[in-house]
Amino acid sequence: MRQIDLQQARALHDRILVFDGHNDPPVERVHRGEAPLNWMRRDPAYHMDVPRMREGGFDGGFFIVGNGPTADVMFTLERTLAQIDAHPDDLRLVLSSQDVADAKANDQIGILMTIEGAQRWLRGELDMVRLFYRMGIRCLGITHGEGGEEEGFLQGSKSPFGPCTMAERDAERKNARGLTDFGREVLHLSNELGLVTDLAHINDRAFYEVLELSRKPVTMTHTAVCALCPHWRCLTDDQIRALADQGGVLGIAFAPFFIDPEAATIDRLVEHICYVAELVGVEHVAIGSDFDGLGTTPAVVPDVSQLPLLTQSMLAHGLSEAEVAQIWGGNFARLLQQTIDP
């Protein structure tokens, strides 16, 4: 590896767009009973707050306001919008790719509101998709692992979780039940309205069905490489190629159990990034930290203030400044242009 001075890496980091595909502060803070939400106060109990976002050169990202198992989406959505309204100099709601650029230009943090695991909140009603869009949601996750044939599920069987073998992956793709009729309807409407479709937590059969049916590029916001860390939540080489062929983007997460349970270092995380870049091209890999979504598990990058260390490691591994810029924000910015913009 090359020797890269942190100051040199920081200079690049501050120039480029740093836009993260998956952040859980809204749901995690509501889940812990914080009322009202206060992202402006430094709080080491979390991975993220605005003071440390500033320190880490964080320009924005996808923020989860509802998921399957935890905080109520309406409650969390309202509290998130209240935070944005209360701090207009610091926070900006992202409804288009131009909002991302404007937030960066105006030294604001761009907040793209996302629902992860939509089944619980849609209640089998397409009008709920339309309502959430009107309320500012711009990304919808097919599942948070849940699935079933009962009314309202978007995929027909649950997604496995934990370490896996390739033989188990092959069997799962054959035996799993993919998108339900309602799931197909939600995907079609998401394309029509201008919602990003997130495949994180999806089962393998539904994964390929979405790629076949979606008219717009999709993303898996927080994942890693199964060849480097065999886990159900990581993508196989075939899946990475299929996602890239569809024009999609995958975000590498900071979860140690996705990176390397034995040695989850920043350098090992960058090996996942480089693997995807070499397999399908740098234009299909990004960052999806999962900050504040790991419970008590330490993240590979300790908190948002330490993000320049990842930039330093990417440069040390031989990625160019232009490639680092694509990975940190350029690829997600392009995806937003192709999906949520009119």
**CA dist 165 to 169, 228, 241, 279, 341, Å?**
6, 12, 19, 21, 39
What is the per-residue pLDDT for 68? Answer: 64
Q: Using alpha carbons only, give the angle 175, 209, 64 rounded to the nearest 5 degrees.
A: 100
Average pLDDT, the chain: 96
Structure tokens at 96: 């288009």
Label residue 204 by pLDDT band (50, 70, 90): very high
What is the per-residue pLDDT for 173? Answer: 87
One DSSP character per residue, 301-334 reads S-SGGGHHHHHHHHHHTT--HHHHHIIIIIHHHH
Quick check: 280 pLDDT over 80?
Answer: yes
Residue 51, classed as helix, strand or coil, is helix
What is the per-residue pLDDT for 1? Answer: 84
Please compute the mean of the pLDDT values over residues 174-202 and round it to a whole number: 98
What is the per-residue pLDDT for 138? Answer: 99
Name the β-bridge partners of 20: 61
Please compute the mean of the pLDDT values over residues 132-144 and round it to a whole number: 97
**Rounded CA separation 9/95 (Å):** 30
pTM of the model: 0.97
Q: What does the buried/exposed string (b/e) look like for 152-187 if buried means 16 or more CB atoms within 10 Å of the residue's CB? A: bbbbbbbbbeeebeeeebeebbeebbbbbebbeebb
Label residue 36 by pLDDT band (50, 70, 90): confident
pLDDT > 90: percent of the chain: 90
Label residue 296 by pLDDT band (50, 70, 90): low
What is the per-residue pLDDT for 70? Answer: 61
What is the per-residue pLDDT for 120? Answer: 87
Residue 129, classed as helix, strand or coil, is helix
**Rounded CA separation 324/49 (Å):** 24
Q: Using alpha carbons only, give the angle 197, 181, 124 rounded to the nearest 5 degrees.
A: 75
CATH number for the region 6-339 comes to 3.20.20.140
CB 34 within 8 Å of CB 70: no
pLDDT digits (tens, 9 = 90+) for 51-78: 999 999 999 999 999 986 566 899 999 9
**Rounded CA separation 294/28 (Å):** 10
Please compute the mean of the pLDDT values over residues 283-308 and round it to a whole number: 93
Structure tokens at 240: 């990475």
Please compute the mean of the pLDDT values over residues 71-91 and round it to a whole number: 94
Label residue 299 by pLDDT band (50, 70, 90): confident
Please compute the mean of the pLDDT values over residues 87-110 and round it to a whole number: 99
Q: Using alpha carbons only, give the angle 236, 294, 184 rounded to the nearest 5 degrees.
A: 50
Please compute the mean of the pLDDT values over residues 118-127 and round it to a whole number: 92
